[in-house]
Structure 1
Amino acid sequence: MKLAVVGGGSTYTPELIDGFARLRDTLPVSELVLIDPAADRLELVGGLARRIFAKQDHPGTIVTTSDLDAGVEGADAVLLQLRVGGQAARQQDETWPLECGCVGQETTGAGGLAKALRTVPVVLDIAERVRRTNPDAWIIDFTNPVGIVTRALLQAGHKAVGLCNVAIGLQRKFAALLQVTPGEVHLDHVGLNHLTWELGVRLGGPDGDNVLPKLLAEHGDAIADDLRLPRQVLDRLGVVPSYYLRYFYAHDEVVRELGTKPSRAAEVAGMERELLAMYGDPALDEKPELLAKRGGAFYSEAAVDLAASLLGNGGSPVQVVNTYNNGTLPFLADDAVIEVPARVGHGGAVPLAVPELDPLYAGLIAHVTAYEDLALEAALRGGRDRVFRALLAHPLVGQYDHADGLTDRLIAHNREHLSWA
């Protein structure tokens, strides 16, 4: 089995390699190709990847290359984990929206739109080259904004499924609090990528007992602290929102907070420098502890599980993924991309039925889906007016003067990545 990772020079990659090494019975990879145009990073990451495989006696071969077409040729699955513009672009995404009094974040709000505009054309070009080289390959998208990018891939006819680590992170956290194995915990996880709620936490499977009320009663303070939301918010809702909902539920507080401290991009850039220095140590043969602070926790386990299921090699029968709605949420179009539990197999992902949604959640999902429609149109067709319309539609913007100012800033900071600008 051959897998290719586009963006293989990412500092995330050793997390992925560690998962491939540990879970080789689930996903028996014989060849893993790391693809990245940054040759210096790729050499450091590739060296550590080979040492991790060697330490864990993995028989597979790790290849590094900057040649995309050669790297994906013959691959059974291609994982996308790229960041167009690097951490420098992320730093801008998290900074200039604050000038208009709006949240600066890499996947949500105006910064998330900027990332989508930079990313969608690049990902579609990569996917088309994969299709020319190997039309049967599955594309697993971990590239943010996952929902918009996955929808672009699916609309272009690619065999694609989107993946995020929020659900698996919560599953692991709840399992630890309940003192059960993660496999015993099933989440009623519903919404869009980075806009989800856990409506239930079930033991034993999708039809198991809902222990979410018990979790909130006994561990509500700890869960609220992790989400950085007041405990009473969780008690009043009776659900567990994704930590990304803080940008919506406490927008003004977050804007004030972001204006008084270094950006997350600056923190991550510092970590990346440290990590790359570590990766260059020939004695290092395991992922360093610092990597856990970089983000992407449990990404490797989710990716292995998804790839194994798509390639017919086992894997969990039900996984939380990003895929077409196809009637799952009746208030959305069939071709909207949602993030819900799905039955995953060789033919792709089929969403499970979900509980009827309270208008409190359904309304925000519909609102953000409308924004994503406009964001994808702007990414595919370009133009200042399309960017403005997407920003005006976003619930974190919503005022014409903010949308105008953000449009000008977005274009000014991203001109080199926008072919139409």
Structure 2
Amino acid sequence: MKKVIIIGGGLAGLSAAAHLSKKNFKVILLEASPKLGGRAYSFFDEKPQTEIDNGQHILMGCYSDTLNFLKIIDAYKFLNIQKILEINYLAKDKNHFRLKAPNFIYPLNLLFALFSFKELNLTEKISLLKLFIKIYFTDSEKLYGMTVQEWLKKEKQSDKAIRIFWEIISIGALNTSTERASAKIFCDILKEIFWRDKFSSQIIIPALPLSKTFCKPASDFIKSNDGEIRLSEKCIEFVVDKNRIEKVITDKNVYEDFDFVVSAVPFYALEKIIDTSFLDKQPEFHYSSILNIHLRIKENFLQEDFYAFYDSELHWLFNKRTHWNIVISNAEKFMLMGNEEIYAFIITELKKFIAISDDDILLYKIIKEKRATFIPDDFTLKHRPSTETKVKNLFIAGDWVDTKLPATIESAVRSGRIAAGKIVFNN
């Protein structure tokens, strides 16, 4: 049985480990922290006495690698899957509305939903539909050199259409402003979401906390296939000889008995382990932040599982039933603020959308992810390295690897599957 050491227990590492375990490889996964999940985990919070996520992650029907991974580890059953695309909006002055696709044949259901969107006037709807259809025929390679904002303006999208529709998708998926994000990758993800099949546009929310949805089932699957997971063990160095990794040195052990190595840590962590000149491209990443605030409410009167904010610096509200989780993407301005200042801002803003008072909020917890995702501008997209490296038995995984996707769960899981596939092929 061939042995593989995987460095990093985020979703990329867990995906690689699960796929390799399925193919009868002996896996040893090393994680520096005392937990699995990387930037997608949950933990038990003592004050509200409930398990909370470090941040909410929306999945979609087009996340084929993620859904397949969850099927492999027997966790697909932990998902709440929309039967059809529906987004409920929170607007100021409590004027709430929704975008909902009818149960028509695909893709007429999506076209009808857009044309029936009451918040846009007839001219805006026609322009929106024209671009929506045009996306199917667009060669995204020709969009290099344009930002999302420039592309949408070129396609005669109104400011309102951008704010109410395109930005919800763009900021949610790319975690940066439309002025910085690449139009090329935005077009690619729009094709994945809306032009693959009817299922692709359906929104999926984990029914359980993230660690119970992803980490625990993956860990159980890996161990059931004779794999090992070693937490709180930090990789310090790869010893390379004759273009192969011969030793993996950690703060606890020296590993010499293995056939392949998968590095599934962020680029900035990999740089501390080995000279990255072995990569086929030299990336330069700039990062964007995500802010999450969890609110324990005296009485939870919201009905839907999630809401999108319209025309606000708040982006999403996820109704966890035990509490609310509000998400702000592209959240750099909040990273230097103290928690009390952040809380005051969020509550002031929230009151514009929901009839809530200070007394209704029992507890709050703020979680900052300062390097949540890389910013997908043109330069970054062209310099993302591939999975294979110049070191024969070393493969890399992570949402920063060239998966053709932004830094999402799907990108991380896909990168792990690709790395595992390369090892199976080279075995």
Could you tell me the TM-score, scaled by structure 1's length?
A: 0.27
Pair member with larger Rg: 2
Higher RCO (C-alpha 8 Å, min separation 6): 2
Q: Which has the higher helix share?
A: 1
